[in-house]
Amino acid sequence: MSARLDWTSGAGRALQGSLRVPGDKSVSHRSLMLAALAEGRSHVRGFLEGEDTRATAAVLKQLGARIEAPADGERVIDGVGLHGLRGTDARLDCGNAGTGMRLLAGLLAGQAFDSVLVGDESLSRRPMRRVTDPLSRMGAQIDTQDGLPPLRIHGGSPLQGISYTLPVASAQVKSALLLAGLYAEGTTEVIEPHPTRDYTERMLAAFGWPIDFEPGRARLSGGHRLTATDVDVPADFSSAAFFLVAASVVPGSELHLQSVGLNPRRTGLLQALRLMGADIRIENERQSGGEPVGDIVVRHAALHGTEIPEVLVPDMIDEFPALFIAAAAASGSTVIRGAAELRVKESDRLATMAAGLRVLGIEVDETPDGGTIHGGRLVGGTVDSHGDHRIAMSFAIAGLLAETPVTITDCSNVATSFPGFIELANGCGFGLREA
């Protein structure tokens, strides 16, 4: 685990430049898992060199997959085939990554061997029954610690396909069930209350597994094989989000963000910011590796508060910390509802953002599933990120606007999803340094 690290973010200049943020975290995790289970050699380009995705690579290596890193952002994976992984007595450490742990739980439920998944302090507090309950219904045997990690997965249990309607919109749970479904007898079907990111479905199809899916529903049967394929990982919209908000709120800014993944299940923040008056254009929209990708041009605009449509919530679930900052800088009030899931992310993001913004002089009325942020003048102060990468990067934006610097504590986990954030941010005009 990284050492504890604090940041100070002060007034920078108008943000200018053209940048490419690191690779998509969701796609990077999945590319490793499917390539490891495939037959043949897969090349992954644009791989996120983050602690989360590296933890997944390390786990798969412990299980016998061969994964080489010929260059930064590249992985070459020699798959072992669907039944080629082997067990280890060592605990499998997913670090900070909910995606790693939940997807691996599905993948490991169908193996012949036992395994134990562990995580860091934050991951050890995150709910796992959402995956272990439906996996148990498929026949898996998984022990938790009162619903929390570690997950002790007993191998050798035959799995049976089920049809499962998710109680909460969660791509992680959907993906865990689909991965278990590769090993199950019969058909596994997942129905969602609201469509979520469909990378697992798209990538299974790309690796040659027959799968039937549409927004809100996915269905596959066991008994096929995965064939190695190359994966081009787009830049992560969730990492681009900090720059979309920062350029929107800092006068005189114009940023060009290159080759950003624009899967519609990820881009709710674009719509929310546009509702608030943001000036954001997509250029050069194209397909890359079966995913929509484009360059985003964002310019400063006077933002105003709005009611965030609840239907957008799953499509911007990771972007709320950044949205809180946009709302703080906007005129008027911004209302968020239907976002209770934010309480079980890397931190309780509703509470952490509300507390931090209050320190900076912004009034926030918190509710169980959202809140109202009253835009206003930001003052400096010290805010606690609670070790949550997205909270830390969001408050770095607040520092650009505040009258005096903003100190953000516990920022080391930024490396889980956005290595090099400080350098990239300062390169375009942030005034960010280690405190």
Q: Which residues bind to ligand S3P, rule: CB under 6 A?
A: 26, 99, 170-172, 175, 197, 317-318, 341
Query: What would the 3-class secondary structure string for 39-56 be?
Result: EEEEEEECCCCCHHHHHH
Pairing of strands 141-145, 92-93: unpaired
Nearer to ligand S3P, 99 or 412 (CB): 99
Nearer to ligand S3P, 26 or 263 (CB): 26
User: How far apart, in Å, are the Cα atoms of 215 and each of 202, 205, 263?
Assistant: 12, 15, 12
Smallest distance from the beta carbon of 171 to ligand S3P, in angstroms? 3
Cβ atoms of 216 and 180 within 8 Å: the answer is no
- Residue 22: how many CA atoms within 13 Å on its side-chain side? 25
Catalytic, 318? Answer yes
Smallest distance from the beta carbon of 317 to ligand S3P, in angstroms? 5
CA distance linking residue 321 with residue 351, whole number of Å: 11
Cβ atoms of 305 and 330 within 8 Å: the answer is yes
Please pick, among 24, 52, 315, 318, the residue that the annotation labels catalytic.
318
Nearer to ligand S3P, 111 or 200 (CB): 200
CA distance linking residue 161 with residue 356, whole number of Å: 45
Nearer to ligand S3P, 232 or 315 (CB): 315
Smallest distance from the beta carbon of 343 to ligand S3P, in angstroms? 12
Indicate the Cα dihedral angle 218, 197, 33, 145, nearest 10°: -90
CA distance linking residue 81 with residue 290, whole number of Å: 23
User: Comparing C-alpha atoms, which of 397, 411, 407, 396 is closest to residue 435?
Assistant: 407
Smallest distance from the beta carbon of 418 to ligand S3P, in angstroms? 12
Nearer to ligand S3P, 241 or 317 (CB): 317
CA distance linking residue 243 with residue 418, whole number of Å: 12
Smallest distance from the beta carbon of 48 to ligand S3P, in angstroms? 11
SS3 81: coil
CA distance linking residue 206 with residue 228, whole number of Å: 9
Smallest distance from the beta carbon of 168 to ligand S3P, in angstroms? 8
Nearer to ligand S3P, 75 or 389 (CB): 389
User: Catalytic amino acids?
Assistant: 318
